[in-house]
């Protein structure tokens, strides 16, 4: 009986933690949408990072369509964050670093997927890399453009 009570208590605690994470993600999205400038850049990229980890969990659970939708939202918020940093002129370098780390993590996730699930993730990585390149051009001018890209 005691083991049953402990298991039930642990289950309730885990479900409340999971619910809190969902609420935190939704509130972070709302904060990111409401913020401006450098703060919006920071919040958008934090939301994108958490969404990417959520997409990874969905891929692991076999929910590929939902995961692909979250990947699209990661790209959207990455772009939104970079645009906020570029328009404010603040947090440019930090935003570029976060975009690089986000693209690297997304690439790693994509490489772990089944072959047929990889192309949309690869496309998303390319889009984030393009956002990052555009931000670097904003920071340092056309010489920041990687060779082989136009």
Enter the DSSP assignment of 40: H
| Distance separating alpha carbons of residues 122 and 37, to the nearest angstrom | 29
Determine, yes or no, domain membership for 19: no
Determine, yes or no, domain membership for 79: yes
Report yes or no: 52 and 106 within 8 Å, Cβ to Cβ.
Answer: yes
Structural domains in the chain (count): 1
Determine, yes or no, domain membership for 17: no
Contacts of 53 (CB under 8 A, 6+ apart): none
Contacts of 80 (CB under 8 A, 6+ apart): 32, 40, 44
- Residue 14 sits at the vertex; the CA angle it makes with 46 and 54, to the nearest 5 degrees, is 30
Determine, yes or no, domain membership for 71: yes
Beta-strand runs (E) in 24-75 = none
pLDDT: is 99 or 9 the higher one? 99
Question: Tens of pLDDT along 94-134?
Answer: 999 999 999 999 999 999 999 999 999 999 999 999 999 99
**Average pLDDT across the chain, whole number:** 87
pLDDT at 20: 46
Determine, yes or no, domain membership for 9: no
| Distance separating alpha carbons of residues 100 and 83, to the nearest angstrom | 15
* Domain region containing 51: 26-144
82 pLDDT tier (thresholds 50, 70, 90): very high
Residue 52 pLDDT greater than 50, yes or no: yes
pTM of the model: 0.80
In this structure, how many other beta carbons lie within 10 angstroms of the beta carbon of residue 10?
10
Determine, yes or no, domain membership for 14: no
pLDDT at 5: 58
């Amino acid at each position: 009986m005691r083991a049953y009570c402990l298991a039930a208590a642990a289950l309730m605690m885990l479900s409340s933690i999971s619910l809190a994470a969902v609420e935190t993600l939704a509130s972070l999205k709302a904060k990111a949408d409401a913020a401006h400038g450098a703060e919006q850049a920071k919040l958008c990229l934090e939301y994108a990072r958490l969404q990417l980890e959520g997409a990874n969990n969905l891929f692991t659970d076999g929910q590929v369509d939902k995961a692909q939708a979250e990947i699209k939202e990661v790209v959207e918020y990455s772009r939104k964050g970079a645009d906020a940093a570029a328009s404010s002129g603040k947090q440019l370098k930090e935003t570029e670093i976060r975009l690089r780390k986000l693209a690297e993590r997304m690439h790693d996730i994509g490489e772990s997927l089944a072959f047929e699930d990889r192309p949309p993730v690869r496309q998303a990585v390319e889009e984030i890399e393009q956002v990052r390149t555009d931000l670097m051009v904003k920071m340092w001018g056309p010489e920041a453009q990687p060779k082989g890209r136009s």
